[in-house]
Copies of this chain bind each other. A is one copy, B any other.
């Protein structure tokens, strides 16, 4: 009988843990999609609002990692209103999380008219003191880029 009770308690704990993890995953994917959809409509502020002050950042247009939200804001500012992505497909998003940090990874197909740009994306989120999640690291890269010889 004791064993049965222990087993039941273990099952309840596992279910609660898994539900909590799912909740975090869903929340983070929701945050990312909301920022991405604003970006696709020309609004760079979705990602800026979601980024922490000490964010670190890679994309394939940069010579080196960029550090800090202020520099990222300067870098994004000229793009405001200039991006028009007609549709996107977020492929197989996956969240690997601890209590206070989480890494979201996915592939992205980004359509402008008939042409498609394919991306690899890594976003590291950290839970802030006010319990909101912010991006502390972003890495965008082209999926299997064809290089100049």
Chain B residue numbers with a CB within 8 Å of A106 are 65
Tell me whether A92 is interfacial, beta carbon within 8 Å: yes
Q: Which of A58-97 contact B (CB under 8 A)?
A: 58, 60-65, 67, 91-92, 94, 96
Write the chain B residue with the least CB distance to A137.
B103
Tell me whether A44 is interfacial, beta carbon within 8 Å: no
Q: A145 vs B120: C-alpha distance in the bound complex, in angstroms?
A: 14
Tell me whether A28 is interfacial, beta carbon within 8 Å: no
Does the CB pair B124–A139 fall under 8 Å? no
Tell me whether A21 is interfacial, beta carbon within 8 Å: no
**Helix, strand, loop or mixed for chain A's interface?**
strand
Encode A126-140 as 1/0 by CB contact (under 8 A) with B.
Answer: 100000000011010
Chain B residue numbers with a CB within 8 Å of A2 are none
Does the CB pair B139–A142 fall under 8 Å? no
Tell me whether A107 is interfacial, beta carbon within 8 Å: yes
Does the CB pair B144–A120 fall under 8 Å? no
Chain B residue numbers with a CB within 8 Å of A136 are 96, 103
- A-B pairs with lowest CB-CB distance, top 10: A141-B141, A101-B101, A58-B120, A146-B148, A122-B139, A98-B100, A103-B124, A98-B101, A139-B139, A103-B137
